[in-house]
Amino acid sequence: MKDSPVPFNTNGIGTRIEEAAAKVGGKRGLSKMIDISEAQLYRIIAEESSPKIETLVAIANATGVSVTWLAIGSNDSDSDSAEHLQEYDFVPLYDAQCSAGNGSWNENAQVLTKLAFTSYSLRKKGLESKMLSAIRVDGDSMEGDLSDGDAVMVDHSKTDVKGEGIYVIRLDGHLYAKRLQRTFDGIDIISTNKAYKAMSVPKDRIEELEVIGQVVWAASWCI
């Protein structure tokens, strides 16, 4: 899944980005400031590649220009374009396989891309973008709820298991998405695919279970 491309006509955007880059010493300096490759920035300036919303916002913030002017050459703050740019939050999608091992769950993990969500949709669900990240599901143990390759968004503020829900946990240095169910005796770790046996964590060992966060969103292909 890729970030949303800019949802409007971007004719002349390369020239405007080049003008903005001049304010910070040129294209090489700008590429470092916004953490994209020089080659990628050159493709955008040449209008061979469409910029992503988050890239335009980063350029505007780095150079001090109006994001609306950057996008469409207008300073009209009431335009639909400005509203589009202000209404998104971006959630990093990590290479989950790189997070195996000790230390922080995402230590040494690479950000593959960032997923765009409307700020309204996150607020409606009571979510804060700074507490969210995404990983991909590996394997078929949750088939029926989650398929191999699905992207899932994790709320890292929700690590206390209450009742039942799908959570990302770490076992033996690897990340897993599993259904957790709190019981009188402890917490059951359940796979949707019945080919995998459920496991139980007794009440006196719950502190040993590392809960990374609760899965609050998932996406998969329908074909």
pLDDT surpassing 70 at residue 7:
no
Cα–Cα distance for residue pair 106/113, rounded to 1 Å:
14
Which superfamily does CATH assign the domain made up of 89-219 to? Umud Fragment, subunit A (2.10.109.10)
**160 with 124: CB under 8 angstroms?**
no
* Three-class secondary structure of residue 120 per DSSP: helix
Q: Is 154 or 103 the better-scoring residue by pLDDT?
A: 154
Whole-number average pLDDT of the chain: 82
Which superfamily does CATH assign the domain made up of 13-86 to? lambda repressor-like DNA-binding domains (1.10.260.40)
pLDDT surpassing 90 at residue 194:
yes
What pLDDT sits at residue 78?
A: 39
- Note the pTM of the prediction, 2 decimals: 0.63
pLDDT tens for each residue of 124-159? 999 999 999 999 888 889 999 988 888 899 999 999
User: What is 46-105 written as a DSSP string?
Assistant: TTSSPPBHHHHHHHHHHHT--HHHHHHS---TTSHHHHHHHTEEEEEEE-GGGG-SSSST
pLDDT surpassing 50 at residue 177:
yes
Question: What ranges do the domains of the chain cover?
Answer: 13-86, 89-219
